[in-house]
Structure 1
């Protein structure tokens, strides 16, 4: 049976994550010290996996999250199609009551089926799905890549998982995530379907000591 194992991670923490600032695709923030420690912990836990390819978004925080694997010389491809959703004009702003209410209402609308509704000067979940599908098709067109590592972003991951499991976008919030969490998905070429093996796993982070700066 031909199979492909997809190790899907969210990037490590950034200072903007810490402060509750929405980054989206328009803010290219680096990992902070804690995010770097998360990336190292994930590498230490999964460096034994014989990855054939690494796929990331175009944003720095995903590249930094897989740096340990890249240093091993594993082939790497970067796609804007895997970038985080664009949250539009509110990206990068310090959280305030007005913006918090805006995001809450927008996500509620998506849950109620208004998935074509875009953030102001940003994207909708449908927009994100449409740019992800060609990347997924590229990944699946390479059966010789048996084990792959994919580094993405929170909302983008939720959309990505609904595509894999052929679910409507209103189900995307079923998929919880945290910084440097892992989803492991197996694809059967014979059956043409995906199976979820691991969901939002952070056991590889449990040995980390919380820095005094937190």
Structure 2
């Protein structure tokens, strides 16, 4: 991973969460970059639960995607006056013609074939009118460099999307993208990473303890 000299001198702690639940999540319908959906009632509760668990963390900056479900998830932190910024590099992977479509044998077969391509190392494979992992990673690298180069931002909260989060974690931890499946996620899953000397180290893996009282 290549960072500028300035960014490699920065020390940061980065909290990365997936957005809260939407109705399309609940229905098992693919959203992707082209579906700007709202959180449902339970998704709002998930965001509030995350806030209650982490409201005392001194976040210096919040970064979200351009899709409103990420803003809605961390709104309570933003309401505290913590500065935030939307970055297109944090948007979800575009699933093209399958976005918003109900699950079907044809769609499941298409996604299975695509997953097999990715596991085989073909990171340029994509759905019709969609994005490949390499294309998503290209915009993620720009967003990441922006975040790492920012001064006086020692503790950062990022809210983004499931597949994009898997790709980003592979890149941060210098793993091949074919290992993206090794980073499980569900709505408001939390990963915490430390950044120092140009390297990321994972501290917290797929933490969902903040949701215990909702799922009980």
**Partner residue of 2:3?**
none
Match of 1:13 among 21, 27, 30: 21
Q: Does 1:208 align with 2:210?
A: no
Q: Does 1:178 align with 2:186?
A: yes
**Partner residue of 1:198?**
204
**Partner residue of 2:116?**
108
**Partner residue of 2:4?**
none
The 5 A counterparts of 1:1-214 are: 3-188=11-196, 191-208=197-214
Q: CA–CA distance in 2 between the matches of 1:2 and 1:25?
A: 31
Give the CA deviation at 1:3.
Answer: 2.2
Q: CA–CA distance in 1 between the matches of 2:83 and 2:22?
A: 25
More moved, 109-118 vs 34-43: 109-118
Partner deviation per Cα, 1:104-156 (whole Å, 9 max, x = no partner): 11011101111111111110000000010011001110242010100000000
Give the CA deviation at 1:95.
Answer: 1.1
| 8 Å contact kept, 2:10–2:148 | no
| 8 Å contact kept, 1:55–1:77 | yes
Q: CA–CA distance in 2 between the matches of 1:71 and 1:2?
A: 27
Normalised by the size of structure 1, how large is the TM-score?
0.94
Q: CA–CA distance in 2 between the matches of 1:21 and 1:2?
A: 40
Q: Name the SS of the counterpart of 1:200 in structure 2.
A: strand
Q: CA–CA distance in 1 between the matches of 2:191 and 2:72?
A: 18
Q: CA–CA distance in 2 between the matches of 1:171 and 1:143?
A: 32
State the superposition RMSD in angstroms.
1.2
Q: CA–CA distance in 2 between the matches of 1:161 and 1:142?
A: 20
Q: CA–CA distance in 2 between the matches of 1:172 and 1:115?
A: 11
Q: CA–CA distance in 1 between the matches of 2:13 and 2:136?
A: 23
More helix as a share of residues: 2
Query: Number of paired residues?
Result: 208
